[in-house]
Amino acid sequence: MGGDLDRSMRRPTMRHVARLANVSLGTVSRVINNNPSVRRDVRERVQKAMEELCYLPDAAAQSMRSLATMSVGCMVPDIGNPLFATTVSMAEQVLHSAGYTMILSSSQYSSEREREILSLFRRRRVDGILCTIGREDDAEVLSILRNSGIALVMVDRTADLDADSVGTDHFDSALQATSYLLTLGHSRIGLITVTDQVRTGRERLQGFMQAHHNAGVAFEQRLTALRGFSAEYGYRTAYEWLIGSEAPTALLAGANQMAGVLKAVRALNLKVPEDISLISFGDTDLAELNTPPLTVVRWSTEGVGRTAAVVLLSRMRGTAGEARLNLISPVELIVRRSCAQPKP
Amino acid sequence: MGGDLDRSMRRPTMRHVARLANVSLGTVSRVINNNPSVRRDVRERVQKAMEELCYLPDAAAQSMRSLATMSVGCMVPDIGNPLFATTVSMAEQVLHSAGYTMILSSSQYSSEREREILSLFRRRRVDGILCTIGREDDAEVLSILRNSGIALVMVDRTADLDADSVGTDHFDSALQATSYLLTLGHSRIGLITVTDQVRTGRERLQGFMQAHHNAGVAFEQRLTALRGFSAEYGYRTAYEWLIGSEAPTALLAGANQMAGVLKAVRALNLKVPEDISLISFGDTDLAELNTPPLTVVRWSTEGVGRTAAVVLLSRMRGTAGEARLNLISPVELIVRRSCAQPKP
DNA sequence: GTGAAAGCGCTAACAC
DNA sequence: GTGTTAGCGCTTTCAC
């Protein structure tokens, strides 16, 4: 049995299974696809043959006929970043449970790589795409996304295209954090976050401005830094501000940048919260275990990943309805001990 | 041009390109595959047609004939864990540059999911597999790995199979850290790390024991905890030990578990390093920015990922030679301020 | 240097 | 219920 198989150095195919079980190709196919119109004894014979040969259907051949690859592409700027990693992780779990395979690629914040990755997704004929792009105004990337004809869910981004999106309420996040600091009496607050070419940065800036407006405090343009996503950027910015005159008395920063901010604060031997108040966007072990524990704005990155996957699934299955979904997770200010009134 | 394309609601195929460029299928194929035996003007005509139609070759159809999918499967216990995330991230970059696509799946430390994922990889006919398994003695998983016939690189694991492996010198890691504590005068040192069903845990335990042996100090079995990978486990274990009698005066823990250990230390209001000395396996922002900064054993997770990908590439290309590679990254003890002599 | 044709492993439409 | 057959989009002989 399976004699010619050994010689051909190839994996077993439906043909081998059919021969061994003494049925036709069609019947094997029906068994594979759980078509009910197969007699029970025949089905069992086929299944036995499949096991005996360790047969597994070839995904490429299947998708070639069925026009569905059961795969989704996932593109993020950097999978090494814990925020993206947890989101992707949850999305992958949900998709995997639904039978989908995830193809993952990091763009490293490069527009060229984004285009490359998206064309790869097209070549692979993925059934859906989950993506967080580096810049929301990247015409070329948006155009590819628009014309791909593939189900698409934007994660934590909004752009000028007809796609679902799942994200976080960064506006409220900055609004709450800033208002809290303003209430404490701060009037020189610095904001360090990602570029305003993505929603995350833009909304944080808007929330920041709105809070100032609400409190009737003029915000200082020079104390907004929206040009970098790295800890290094957080360090440089905080350091410069803090050694300058008219230094801020409080700092808001993304979780990533906050690691750098903390280093700068240490380097300058400043005390938190006596000399400087700190709030992080995004909760981390670092924030929770810092001395003192950092006040943060928290949301569920897991929830975002899970929701994004669920939305994509319903879109791929065509059960999502006409209207685009635009889901925003709420955020919560967790007051710990990194904020105090500014020194008089 | 491409008139019938619009109507057929399908992506353009080689056939459309051939028709538009007035050549045969074979010629289009040769252009796609950079076969030099195509006249320059013809090649250019074909390329123009491809652009005009936004043609991209179908990966499934290609791999069906060529028997190479240009994809690699990557299986890790948890992509949400920063240690795995950075490794995977680097590997993905290297593989992507070489033209390979990465299929990613987290097993969540479940043997069943591992089997499922591996069979998925087989169905997808991946050209190579990069994996970190949950237990090195999992007969079923090992058997699948052995019989897959797919190029395989084990990451930070060794098992009874004929595969390349890339990892870290966890033995030396524990040896150095433990010896350092012993030298400071500690004699009740606790070790909290992953299970000894994987190399990481086993080698750390061995290094721990070896250091005790070298110093002529008896190590205490009860102060070794190798049953959990979570911060929660670190917390529970540390808490119990520290409130008990004959509490350890120093603790070694994996980066993951260390977050929990720190919480336990805080909860009990213990001072580091006066009341308890701490060393983490693996450097993190948390360790570096802790008060006081933690002494750690450091290695390059990026390096491991990069190397694993490079080894896999050479294996897939058949340029790796007969002998199995077994690459071990060195580690380095970074002394900061979390260790002191035990109280008399 | 280029075209024609066979077939990779599978599904689905159609016979019986 | 089951078998037969025609492709899915591509690569690769083999002619010319």
Q: B92-149, pLDDT tens digit by residue?
A: 999 999 999 999 999 999 999 999 999 999 999 999 999 999 999 999 999 999 999 9
* Pairing of the two strands B101-106 and B128-131: unpaired
In this predicted structure, what is the pLDDT of residue A67? 83
Largest separation between any pair of C-alpha atoms in chain A? 90
- State yes or no: pLDDT of B278 exceeds 50: yes
Residue B67: predicted pLDDT: 83
pLDDT at position B321, please? 85
User: Measured between alpha carbons, how far is A130 from A116 in angstroms, rounded to an integer?
Assistant: 15
CA/C1' separation A63–C8 (Å): 13
Over residues A217-236, the mean pLDDT reads: 95
pLDDT of residue A9: 56
Rounded CA separation A67/B9 (Å): 12
Nearest to A1 by CA among A55, A49, A54, A43: A49
For residue B330, say whether its CB is under 7 Å from any atom of strand C: no
What does the block give as tokens for B294?
Answer: 């933690």
State the greatest distance between any 2 C-alpha atoms of chain B, in Å, as a whole number. 90
B95 to chain A, any CB pair closer than 8 A? The answer is no
Find and give the residue nearest to C2, measured CA to C1': B27
Three-class DSSP category at A254: strand
Strand partners, B204: none
- Give yes or no for residue B21 having a pLDDT over 60: yes
Neighbours of B303 (CB within 10 A): 17
Say if CB B59 and CB B277 are below 8 A apart.
no
A119 shares contact with chain B (CB less than 8 Å) = yes
Q: Which residues of A touch B106 (CB under 8 A)?
A: 89, 92-93
* Residue contact A85–B79, C-beta within 8 A: yes
pLDDT > 90: percent of chain A: 93
The tokens for A70 are: 């059961």
Angle between helix A231-243 and A255-267 (nearest 10): 40
Task: Quote the pLDDT of residue B9.
Answer: 56
Residues A239-266 as b or e (16 or more Cβ within 10 Å = b): bebbeeeebbbbbbbbbbbbbbbbbbbe
- What mean pLDDT comes out for the span A15-32? 94
Distances (CA, A) of A244 to A248, B82, B201: 9, 35, 49
Confidence band, pLDDT 50/70/90 cuts, at residue B263: very high
Closest CA to A243 of A279, A267, A219, A274: A267
Question: Would you say B184 and B277 are in contact if contact means Cβ atoms under 8 Å apart?
Answer: yes
Distance CA A70, CA A338 (A): 47
Question: Which of B92, B106, B259 is facing A89, going by the closest CB pair?
Answer: B106
Residues in a beta bridge with B106: B76
- H or E stretch at A154: strand A151-155
Q: Are B188 and B251 in contact (CB under 8 A)?
A: no
Instruction: Determine the average pLDDT of the residues in B213-231.
Output: 95
Report CA(A15)–C1'(C8) in Å, whole number. Answer: 13
CA of A323 to C1' of D11 (A): 43
* Per-position DSSP letters for B143-200, written without gaps between them: HHHHHS-SEEEEES---SSS-EEEEE-HHHHHHHHHHHHHHTT---EEEE-S-TTSHH
pLDDT at B50 over 70: yes
pLDDT value, residue B53: 93
B266 interfaces chain A, CB cutoff of 8 Å = yes
A63 in B contact zone (CB under 8 Å): yes
Mean pLDDT of B203-215: 98
CA–CA distance, A80 with B83 (Å, rounded to integer): 9
- In chain B, % of residues over pLDDT 70: 97
Q: Do B102 and A106 touch (CB under 8 A)?
A: no
Q: How confident is the model at residue A158 (pLDDT cuts 50, 70, 90)?
A: very high
Report which of A323, A279, A316, A341 is spatially closest to residue A68, judged by C-alpha positions. Answer: A316
Give the number of residues written for chain A: 344
- SS3 at position A143: helix
How many residues are listed for chain B in this entry?
344
What long-range pairs does B310-315 form, CB within 8 A, spacing at least 24?
B310/B94, B311/B153, B311/B164, B311/B166, B312/B72, B312/B95, B312/B128, B312/B129, B312/B130, B312/B151, B312/B152, B312/B153, B312/B164, B313/B94, B313/B95, B313/B98, B313/B100, B313/B128, B315/B128, B315/B151, B315/B152, B315/B153, B315/B164
Q: What CA–CA distance (Å, rounded) separates B28 from B24?
A: 7
- In whole angstroms, give the CA distance from residue B247 to residue B235: 15
**Average confidence (pLDDT) over A134-160:** 95
Whether pLDDT at B322 is above 90:
no
* Alpha helices (H) in chain A, listed in sequence order: 3-8, 14-21, 25-32, 40-53, 59-66, 82-97, 111-123, 139-147, 170-184, 199-215, 231-243, 255-267, 285-289, 301-316
Q: Write the CB contacts of B113 (distance below 8 Å, at least 6 apart in sequence).
A: B105, B107
> Among candidates B98, B72, B109, which has minimal Cα distance to A101?
B72
Query: Which of the four pLDDT bands, split at 50, 70 and 90, describes residue A266?
Result: very high
The two three-digit tokens of residue B50, written as one number: 């491809």
- CB count, 10 Å around CB of A106? 25
CB half-sphere exposure, A276, CA atoms < 13 A: 24
- The shortest CB-CB distance from A103 to any of B57, B64, B102 is to B102
**Does A60 contact B124 at a Cβ distance shorter than 8 Å?**
yes
DSSP codes, A62-98: HHHHHS---EEEEEES-TTSHHHHHHHHHHHHHHHHT
Q: Measured between CB atoms, which of A81, A85, A123 is closest to B59?
A: A123
Q: For residue A344, say if its preceding peptide bond is cis, omega within 30 degrees of 0.
A: no
- What pLDDT does A322 receive? 86
Q: Is residue B115 within 8 Å of residue B141, measured between CB atoms?
A: yes
Q: Is residue A292 reached through a cis peptide bond, with omega within 30 degrees of 0 on the bond before it? A: yes
- What does the mean pLDDT of chain B come to? 94
Rg (CA), chain B: 26
Mean of pLDDT values over A39-52? 94
Rounded Cα distance between A254 and A230, Å, is 9
Its pTM stands at 0.94
- For residues B190-219, average pLDDT: 96
Strand-strand pairing, A332-334 and A295-298: antiparallel
Q: Is A54 left (phi over 0), alpha (psi -120 to 50) or beta?
A: left
Phi, psi of B320 (to 5 degrees): -100, -5
Residue type at position B85: A
Q: Please say whether the beta carbons of B339 and B279 come within 8 A.
A: yes
pLDDT band at B5 (very low <50, low <70, confident <90, very high): very low
Per-residue pLDDT tens digits for B61-89:
999 988 899 999 999 999 999 999 999 99
> What share of chain A has pLDDT > 70, as a percent?
97
| The predicted structure's pLDDT at residue A8 | 43
- CB of B147 within 8 Å of any CB in chain A? yes
What's the pLDDT at B1?
Answer: 34
Closest CA to A339 of A179, A218, A203: A179
Contact present, A333 and A180 (Cβ < 8 Å): yes
| B3 pLDDT more than 50 | no
CA distance B273 to A80: 31
Distance in angstroms (rounded) separating the CA atoms of residues B249 and B340: 10
Q: Tokens for B67, please give them.
A: 């028997």
